Structure 1
């Protein structure tokens, strides 16, 4: 599945169709930028341009047609706008990092990146209550956080200067976007540190079981990876497909060609998700067997 399809799954059930084409185009182009051979700085510049362009389109559409009810407004500011907004913040952070990181010496570069990690951790600590609200998939304060009617009565204003128009913002949509962006940015920082310290092994890798091998087909594993990415249950959907793929490759000591395999999955005749259906059948069979025992 392409990022367009993966990301769009997260809001397709709640979104107004008038945003569908804009978001589909955006997510397809984001995928092209991320998977290009450009430098990180160039990717950031291209991404920032695309995000601003998309946000402007969304803003114009909202100003012209607005929402039919509060539920539609909440769906937009909770699930749609934060997607390009979070990428804008993410690419802006990358651009700042690439421009400000020391140009010489491994130790100064690592020190700079570790300071960035500390700042990210402080951000999550400062916003712990709201992060918990979103992580638990609560919705009882959505009418406060994700509608514009409560702006005057809610003094909160995130210290974010990436892109902000009062008539196109709620009290928390920018903060939610930044949370998603920071989930992505922490992976960028850790990868950068790993490149500078190739002998440094992540804690997760240190604790990784050594004897787990994927003995099913690689096609089945790719199908599973795309499904996990599509449903958005890893890092709240704020994680790139390649990051999940790399984790599975490391964990199961294998190598995958995800994009080629995914194209083959889409070209199947009949059942497009054979492995996922197989999992359902086997799990249900086991449950029935366990009940009988």
Structure 2
């Protein structure tokens, strides 16, 4: 029951957060709204486990190791983004580059200070899960620094660390993109040198690809958000996808045609190309 309810809640939360990306609101207002939204959904998540006790220790470990960090990482991510943006220096020169680099160094220092737990997280280990992710379990022999006091009914301490590890990786990607863009190393330059590519088809076709790639988990082993893929596409193809969430509704509402019209066309073109290549015998 907990898995089903929390999964539905996460889907609902992500849809609400994606709307913030779609709306043309001030960035600081967007970040503040995102923080408040994740707070609200974490409260709802807590209510779920209060109403439906864990079936066994395995479910409790899964929840605090995997499920809660899926939610909690976004609270940390948006809070850190708010701090980064609110403290950024004026102008677009060296001071701004130094600001972003200092944030990268801060993240790296945090990860080094929790190197044991971070490697445990990265490698997917499980031998200490009973100490890390069961409420009331003792792991005092394992150093925990920079961990805030947690509600003992809704946290273990290590679930905060796993949430922050996930958030740190998102922040690292964000800051790398910022620094790369400022050096002129945009995504299209990385792929095709100095040549620039522009999406000249319907933007809705690209949105079909966007959702298909995200849903099939083809990028970063599925550990990437829809908004991140959309941002990469916008850079690579010089196209505006800011309304992709709303335009996806157009795909869902299609009548009298395939809902995956463009993907079907691509499939037909590829099959034809394969058949033509097979038919050619020099």
User: TM range, normalised to the smaller chain?
Assistant: 0.7 to 0.9
Q: Equivalent of 1:181, from 160, 164, 167? A: 167
Q: 1:97 is matched with which residue?
A: 84
Aligned runs of 1:117-156 on 2, under 5 Å? 117-127=104-114, 130-137=117-124, 139=126, 141-148=128-135, 150-152=137-139, 155-156=142-143
Query: Which residue number corresponds to residue 214 of structure 2?
Result: 229
Residues 52-93 of structure 1: per-residue CA shift (max 9 Å, x gap): 222222223323432112232233223321133111111211
Tell whether 2:60 aligns with 1:73: yes
Task: Give 2:97's aligned residue.
Answer: 110
Match of 1:166 among 141, 145, 152: 152
1:244 paired with 2:229, answer: yes
Contact 1:55 1:84 in 2 (8 A): yes
SS of equivalent residue, structure 1 residue 58: helix
CA contact (8 A) 2:19 2:245 kept: no
Kept in 2, the 8 Å contact 1:183–1:235? The answer is no
8 Å contact kept, 2:132–2:139: no
Which ranges of structure 1 fall in alignment gaps of 5 or more residues?
A: 1-13
The answer to whether the 8 Å contact 2:134/2:156 transfers is: yes
Looking at structure 2, the residues matched to 207 and 265 of structure 1 have their Cα atoms a distance apart, in angstroms, of 31
Partner SS state of residue 150, structure 1: coil
- How large is the RMSD of aligned CA atoms in angstroms? 4.1
Question: Greater Rg, structure 1 or structure 2?
Answer: 2
In the TM superposition, residue 176 of structure 1 has moved relative to its aligned partner by 1.7
* Partner of residue 48, structure 1: 35
Partner of 2:185: 202
Q: Structure 1 pair 129/90, CA: closer, same or farther in 2 (3 Å)?
A: same
Return 5+ residue gaps in structure 2 as ranges. Answer: none
Per-residue Cα deviation, 1:142-169 (whole angstroms, up to 9, x for no partner): 44443335344563435144x7323311
